[in-house]
Amino acid sequence: MCGAVDHAAVGDRHFAMDPKRQVRREITIRPARFTDLAAIDAIQSASPEAVHWNPTDYLKHDCRVCDLNSCVAGFLVTREVAPGESEILNLAVDPAERRTGIARRLLADALAQAKGAWFLEVRASNEAAIRLYESAGFHRAGRRPQYYYEPAEDAIVMRFFS
C-alpha cells in the first residue's frame, strides 16, 4: 500500500503531501520494469473489474506505472494498433490509492505520449472508469455484447481524438 496523494504533475517527478499522514510523497510516471511485475500482479488481483493478463505480457506493450516513493500504485498498458491509432488495454490502481488522481495521471501521460485516435473497451458496469474516460474526453462509440467473461458482461467501446 502506498498511501493517498493530494496532487502531482503528469509525466515527471513531483512531490505531494499525503493528507492522512502529513508526509511528502514522490510521484513518478515511468515505464514499467520487470521488477514491477509482482506489484502489477497484486494490483490486478485486487481489481476484479480490470482485465487479468499474465503481467509479463504487459512488457510486450507500452506499460507505464505510477511510482509513489518507490511503490507501484497503478499501471496503464497501451499499444499502437496502426500509425496514429492507439488502444488502452488495461488500467488499474491499487484499491488503497483509488480516487487520488493516479488513474487520471496515467491516462493523461499516455494521451500526451501518442497523439491521434485512441480507443478502449470497458466493462459496462465499471461506472467509475467510464466517468474517468468521459472526463478525459473519451466518448461512447458502441457496445460489444458479452465481450468479457468471468463474469460475462458487455463492453462499452470508447474513443478519443487528439
Q: Count how many Cα atoms sit within 13 Å of the Cα of residue 43 in the half-sphere of its side chain.
A: 28
Distance between the two ends of the chain, CA-based, in angstroms?
34
**Residues recorded for the chain:** 162
Query: Of 104, 66, 112, which is closest to residue 86 (Cα–Cα)?
Result: 112
Residues annotated as part of the active site: 121, 133
**Cα–Cα distance measured from residue 53 to residue 61, given in angstroms and rounded to the nearest whole number:** 12
Helix crossing, 102-113 with 127-135: angle to 10°? Answer: 50
**Cα–Cα distance measured from residue 70 to residue 39, given in angstroms and rounded to the nearest whole number:** 11
C-alpha 81 chain-centroid distance: 18
